[in-house]
Amino acid sequence: MLSLDNAFSFDALRDFDRRVREGSGREEIEYIAEHKFDGLSISLLYEDSVLVRGLRAATARRART
């Protein structure tokens, strides 16, 4: 999970996009943006409506499922 940090210019957005594409090995990326609340970053993966993985970005620790 990458963070956009404080991007205040199109150059900063382009740099973020470049890093994501290079890191993923993909040429095209689809983004979804949401308001960020400091200290509340998690990534949840569901398969067939069942939680299979959780990750807290701040500590990079996996949640037990």
pLDDT, tens only, 35-51: 766 666 788 899 999 99
H-assigned helices in the chain: 10-24
The letter for the amino acid at 44 is L
3-state SS class at 56: strand
Active site residues: 36
Q: pTM surpassing 0.75?
A: no
Query: Is the distance from CB of 15 to CB of 9 less than 8 angstroms?
Result: no
Q: What is the mean pLDDT of residues 17-30?
A: 92
